């Protein structure tokens, strides 16, 4: 009964904010696609700790249904066998699909926007098994809701975002609920505020945090399986017209994680490539 409810929620409302496209690489941000614009993302994120290294490659696409509503899907694949806590900021093995709605959009001056975007999506287990504590769990779909708000301009970018992911239970197992949040500041120096037919560079400082609940296994909450971490690091975005390349690295600022369960995660890194396909369609008379 729970599965149909979860599915219905995700289908009838809307998706997860995939931290990619042409913005910060780890954090939540507000931009959505233009109407009839396709976006294609592919990249790699990595997590390294004392129990090993995980790489996940993510491929995603988005389509702008309206100027403020984008549907999207992300299909990651996992490599490596690190025993690391659940994370929704660094994608794992779950496939996700949903939609993002930019419900607040205030254009205040040349180059400046204040906006807020809500996303809701369905997260389903991919064909791959997890590693570590999560490896043996029966997996079930989940729902992810995300809210991001902030400001974009020719010089400064500020975004705040938060997300909550709740998984359904399967055979007395359940992946942990995850609360994720991020704050990001971006800056484009004056000498880089150039024409659109030249490379466009931006630097970001990205602060992200996550709290994962306890893992339910066989009807029992695994002791010390919850975690709280905060990460900080720089990222750089380079864009030429409709092609974007972004990369970043983060180190831990705060960790409340059982090292006996998860080991000691040391570093996260990501690189992403985006291609944006715009539509030239306009209405006829």
Helix (H) or strand (E) holding 11: helix 2-12
3-state class of 129 per DSSP? coil
Among 1, 4, 12, 109, binds another protein (CB under 8 A): 109
**Dihedral sign computed on CA atoms, order 210, 234, 92, 119:** positive
> Is 47 an interacting residue with respect to another protein (CB under 8 A)?
no
Q: Hey, is 101 helix, strand or coil? A: strand
Task: Say how many residues touch another protein, by CB under 8 A.
Answer: 43
* Residue 4 sits in the site that holds another protein (CB under 8 A): no
Are 178 and 212 in contact by the 8 Å Cβ rule? The answer is: yes
Q: Which two tokens stand for residue 207?
A: 């602060």
Closer by beta carbon to another protein, 260 or else 281: 281
Closest CA to 90 of 136, 132, 43: 43
- Could you say whether residue 63 binds another protein (CB under 8 A)? no
Site string for another protein, 17-46 (x = CB under 8 A): -----x---------x-xxxx---------
Residue 22 Cβ vs another protein, minimum distance, rounded to whole Å: 6
Which residues, 160 to 219, sit near another protein by CB under 8 A? 193-200, 202
Instruction: Give the whole-angstrom CA distance, residue 270 versus residue 76.
Output: 13
Q: How far is the CB of 145 from another protein (least distance, A)?
A: 22
| 97 contacts 15 by C-beta, under 8 angstroms | yes
Find the DSSP H helices in 52-200. Answer: none
Which residues are 275's β-sheet partners? 40, 243
Q: Which candidate, 170, 80, 158, 88, places its Cα nearest to that of 123?
A: 88
**Of residues 194 and 264, the one with the C-beta less far from another protein:** 194
DSSP structural state of residue 56: E
190, 155 contact by CB (below 8 A): yes
Whole-number minimum distance, CB 194 to another protein, in Å? 8
Cβ 245 to another protein shortest distance, Å: 12
Shortest spacing between CB 208 and another protein, in angstroms: 22
Nearest to another protein of 64, 141 (CB atom): 64
Instruction: Decide whether 1 or 110 has the Cβ nearer to another protein.
Output: 110
Tell me how far, at minimum, the Cβ of 273 lies from another protein, in Å: 14
Which residue number, 241 or 264, has a Cβ lying nearer to another protein? Answer: 241
Q: Which residues bind another protein (CB under 8 A)?
A: 22, 32, 34-37, 67-68, 102, 105, 107-113, 152-154, 157, 193-200, 202, 239-242, 244, 276, 278-283, 285
């Amino acid at each position: 009964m729970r599965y149909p409810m979860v599915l219905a929620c995700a289908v009838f409302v809307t998706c997860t904010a995939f931290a990619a496209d042409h913005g910060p690489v780890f954090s939540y941000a507000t931009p959505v696609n233009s109407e009839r614009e396709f976006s294609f993302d592919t990249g790699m994120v990595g997590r390294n700790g004392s129990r090993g290294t995980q790489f996940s490659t993510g491929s995603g696409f988005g389509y702008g249904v309206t100027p403020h509503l984008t549907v999207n899907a992300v299909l990651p694949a996992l490599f490596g066998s690190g025993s690391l806590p659940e994370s929704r900021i660094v994608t794992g093995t779950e496939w996700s699909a949903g939609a993002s709605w930019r419900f607040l959009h205030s254009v205040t001056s040349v180059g400046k926007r204040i906006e807020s975007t809500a996303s809701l999506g369905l997260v389903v287990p991919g064909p791959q098994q997890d590693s570590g504590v999560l490896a043996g769990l029966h997996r079930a779909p989940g729902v992810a809701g995300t809210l991001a708000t902030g400001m974009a301009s020719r010089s400064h970018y500020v975004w705040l975002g938060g997300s909550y992911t709740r998984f359904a239970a399967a055979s007395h197992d359940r992946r942990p609920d995850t609360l994720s949040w991020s704050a990001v500041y971006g800056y484009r120096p004056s000498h880089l505020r150039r024409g659109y037919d030249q490379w466009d560079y931006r630097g970001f400082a990205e602060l992200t945090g996550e709290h994962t609940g306890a893992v339910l296994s066989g009807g029992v909450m695994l002791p010390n399986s919850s975690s709280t971490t905060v990460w900080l690091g720089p990222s750089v975005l380079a864009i030429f017209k409709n092609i974007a390349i972004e990369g970043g690295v983060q180190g831990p600022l705060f960790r409340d994680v059982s090292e006996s369960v998860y080991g000691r995660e040391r570093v996260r890194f990501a690189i992403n490539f985006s291609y944006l396909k715009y539509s030239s369609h306009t209405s006829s008379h």
